[in-house]
Amino acid sequence: MGQLTRGYWSVFFNIAHHYRLSRLAPQDAHDLITRPVANYLEYEQHAIEKIRVLTGEQPYLIHLVCRSLVDLCNSRHKAYVTIHDVNIVQQNVMQTGQFHFDWIWDQITPDEQMALSAIAEGRKEEGRLISLSEIEDLYRQHHLPLKRDVLLTAIKRLSDLDVVEDDSTQIAPERKRYRISVGLIGKWLRKEKALESLRKKLD
């Protein structure tokens, strides 16, 4: 397994070099997870799906998760990755990804930060979608300034950044439902950027 650690970086970057730093197509995400370690590690399908949900199929985050999995499997002399292994490395990835999460947060406006935190708080269940009216209810509960047009503009910007996704492009914005597209970001927001903390800053 020693060769796995030494060779991982070069193989990963040879593949990732051609990808945009945004969401990958499902097959590209699958390849980025499995191809760099094809001769050393095998992934169960549930593990692959969990990685895709946690990372939102973003290459940098896929790398963080898979790098931690490589280290874990090396330490345990394993050649097969399960969903349990993915769950084990989540905390480590949250720590190593802190700079990335902070960078994303710093790129968005205060209105976008509030919208993002509200969506994260409203969909604590993995994959759950939250309606615009539910988001507005959270704003009212936390006594945050609320204007629907400002909120919709913020959500649209977050969607453009591949941080938020909705359930349809065929209906009016006020009828759509939303979720954080990157599971790790949702977990980080609920821990570090809760709505209550944002309200206190406003006060």
Distance CA 59, CA 152 (A): 28
Q: Count up the domains in the chain and report the number.
A: 2
What per-residue confidence (pLDDT) applies to 39? 86
- Is the pLDDT confidence value at 35 over 50? yes
Band (pLDDT 50/70/90 cuts) for residue 124 is: low
| Residue percentage of the chain with pLDDT more than 70 | 86
Beta carbons within 10 angstroms of residue 136's beta carbon: 16
**Full domain range(s) for residue 19:** 2-96
Long-range CB contacts (< 8 A, 24+ apart) of 105-109?
105/193, 107/161, 108/157, 108/158, 108/161, 109/154, 109/157
Distance CA 88, CA 68 (A): 9
Are both 7 and 91 inside the same structural domain? yes
Are both 67 and 45 inside the same structural domain? yes
Q: State the maximum Cα–Cα separation within the chain, in Å, rounded to a whole number.
A: 56
Are both 28 and 83 inside the same structural domain? yes
Are both 113 and 195 inside the same structural domain? yes
Are both 23 and 85 inside the same structural domain? yes
Band (pLDDT 50/70/90 cuts) for residue 127 is: low
* The last residue of a domain, from among 96, 115, 130: 96
* The last residue of a domain, from among 41, 72, 96: 96
- Is the pLDDT confidence value at 125 over 90? no
- Is the pLDDT confidence value at 133 over 90? yes
Q: Name every residue whose Cβ is closer than 8 Å to that of residue 103 and which is 6 or more positions away in sequence.
A: none
Strand partners, 43: 81
Are both 159 and 194 inside the same structural domain? yes
Band (pLDDT 50/70/90 cuts) for residue 9 is: very low
* Mean pLDDT, range 85-104, rounded to an integer: 90
Q: What is the pTM of this model?
A: 0.79
Q: Name every residue whose Cβ is closer than 8 Å to that of residue 64 and which is 6 or more positions away in sequence.
A: 55, 93, 96, 97, 100
- Is the pLDDT confidence value at 17 over 60? no
- Is the pLDDT confidence value at 1 over 60? no
Distance CA 46, CA 62 (A): 15
Q: Name every residue whose Cβ is closer than 8 Å to that of residue 88 and which is 6 or more positions away in sequence.
A: 72
What per-residue confidence (pLDDT) applies to 162? 84
Are both 112 and 174 inside the same structural domain? yes
Contact (Cβ atoms closer than 8 angstroms) between residue 94 and residue 188: yes
Quick one: tokens of 199? 């309200």
Are both 170 and 137 inside the same structural domain? yes
Are both 51 and 132 inside the same structural domain? no
Are both 117 and 192 inside the same structural domain? yes
* Ordered strands of the 177-180 beta sheet: 130-131, 177-180, 164-166
Are both 141 and 167 inside the same structural domain? yes
Residue 192 exposed, middle or buried by CB count within 10 Å (0-12, 13-18, 19+): middle
* Mean pLDDT, range 66-95, rounded to an integer: 93
Distance CA 35, CA 39 (A): 8
